[in-house]
A = this chain, B = another copy of it.
Amino acid sequence: MTQYKYILEEKDLPTHWYNVIPDMKTPPPPYRHPATLDLLGPDDLAPIFPQALIEQEVSQERLIEIPDEVQDILKMWRPSPLYRASRWEKVLDTPAKIYYKWEGVSPPGSHKPNTAVAQCYYAKEEGLEGFATETGAGQWGSALCFATQIFGMKCKVFMVTISYHQKPYRRIAMETWGGTVVPSPSSETKAGRDILAVDPETSGSLGIAISEAIEYAVTHDGWKYSLGSVVNFVLLHQTVVGLEAMKQMEMAGDYPDILIGCVGGGSNFAGLFLPFIKDKLDGTKPALRVINVESTACPSLTRGLYAYDWGDTAKTGPVVKMHTVGHGFIPAPVHAGGLRYHGMSPIICRLLEDRFVEARAYHQNTVFEAAQSFARAEGFIVAPETAHAIKAVYDEAMACKESGESKVILFNNSGHGHFDLEAYDSYHLKRLPDFELEDTKIQKALEELPQIPE
């Protein structure tokens, strides 16, 4: 009989996170101060992030121990299953072998709690009362509300307006876990009020929501800011995904030829591929392909510039060297809210520059077509973000069919789409727009980049 799932026991949960930075040929360059543009010291980050996370952000240790309490909470749903997509392979009639890591089993339904739990642990250690954060489609906000609740902390979520209205169930879920949610831009912060004064009808962006969350955190005693992607420590916490997957691929007796994931800030996919790419960085697996999939609505890797830019729209967070379409860029209102970030993880950007990974972008209709095909074969209805990865898997599986090659494809099925079904409805009703993005819009946003002598 077919084996669908490769399952690890709780005792097989990784005890350490994998930090890729010491293994990178060129590490990502340091952050700069949002106002002075000088190199940023750890003290500059102290008002924003918990101290332990700032240390992890710049750590040169290859392996960093996962605290016992964090492991204990992760075991509420981890290790997550690795699936063989046997039924979808049959439907596609492809010789490719398709595997996926299924992160939808966590209570908030995605990979996001892997870092939310860790961040809350360190925040609680530091005696913090609450976390402020941004969320796009709501996966990250859900995860942080879930985690803060477990640690007895408070959570304030600035949810990008377009997603707040597209995905009401996400808001309700966050409230069920005890969080407070407002649409962003909001009138609760100066950053939000400034944007609303210019464009009261804006659909919002992750860049704006980040500005609001940082402002809220630094203006409230006992509160700090929590970020769900982009920065090094978030990618670090997500490596449990790839570390588990390595063991599970061994159980399956295969090693991936191609790794695929969707990228907004990059954390779900980096969590999967970093433990594998170690084998490419050290020359053991030179042919391993790593495909980052983004939305054509916000194509930082495929059409952005590799340059220093502010991580947020109000220019209050660190200035980061990354592929960016500009901190003032407002993406079209695609349903994949988690892919509407103007920048990208500096680690992924550096790996792209050094040709260790590749990138591509898709329009949303073709993405939902692939996701529906997947749902009808494998059962799982995935998030619009994850659907981008599935479209790339589809294309690679079809290329194998063409060439007759039996490549091993592994992708991160990063979350379910149960709160995103309006998007599937629009797709069924042929009401899903494919937005064409003009070069001039990106060029205009890129004119506002900081001027830093390199």
CA distance A375 to B175 in the complex (A): 11
- Which residue in B3, B106, B380 is a CB contact (below 8 Å) of A379? B106
A35 at the B interface (CB under 8 A): no
Closest to A104 in B: B105
CA distance A1 to B75 in the complex (A): 10
Residues in chain B near residue A76, CB distance under 8 A? 4, 87, 378-379
Residues in chain B near residue A106, CB distance under 8 A? 379
Residues in chain B near residue A64, CB distance under 8 A? none
A140 at the B interface (CB under 8 A): no
A411 at the B interface (CB under 8 A): no
With A150-B87, A178-B376 known to touch, is A172 a contact of B424 (CB < 8 Å)? yes
CA distance A403 to B151 in the complex (A): 29
- Which residue in B5, B107, B173, B377 is a CB contact (below 8 Å) of A421? B173
Residues in chain B near residue A3, CB distance under 8 A? 10, 75
A419 close to B422 (CB less than 8 A): no
A379 close to B146 (CB less than 8 A): yes
A354 at the B interface (CB under 8 A): no
List which A157-210 residues lie within 8 A (CB) of chain B.
168-169, 172-173, 175-178
A335 to chain B minimum Cβ distance, whole angstroms, is 13
A376 close to B75 (CB less than 8 A): no
Interface string of A417-451 (1 = CB under 8 A from B): 01101101100100000000000000000000000
With A379-B107, A379-B108 known to touch, is A424 a contact of B176 (CB < 8 Å)? yes
A429 to chain B minimum Cβ distance, whole angstroms, is 10
CA distance A404 to B2 in the complex (A): 48
Closest to A147 in B: B379
List which A59-81 residues lie within 8 A (CB) of chain B.
68, 71-72, 75-77
A444 to chain B minimum Cβ distance, whole angstroms, is 37
A123 at the B interface (CB under 8 A): no
A372 at the B interface (CB under 8 A): yes
A192 to chain B minimum Cβ distance, whole angstroms, is 24
Residues in chain B near residue A71, CB distance under 8 A? 1
Closest to A3 in B: B10
A109 close to B2 (CB less than 8 A): no
A252 at the B interface (CB under 8 A): no
A7 at the B interface (CB under 8 A): yes
B169 close to A169 (CB less than 8 A): yes
A149 at the B interface (CB under 8 A): yes
A9 at the B interface (CB under 8 A): yes
Could you jot down 27 A-B contacts, CB within 8 Å?
A2-B72, A4-B10, A5-B10, A76-B379, A87-B150, A107-B379, A108-B379, A149-B376, A150-B379, A168-B421, A168-B425, A169-B169, A169-B418, A169-B422, A172-B421, A172-B422, A172-B424, A173-B381, A173-B418, A173-B421, A175-B424, A175-B428, A176-B376, A176-B428, A177-B375, A177-B379, A418-B418
| 6 residue pairs, one from A and one from B, having the closest CB atoms | A107-B379, A418-B418, A172-B421, A169-B421, A172-B425, A176-B424
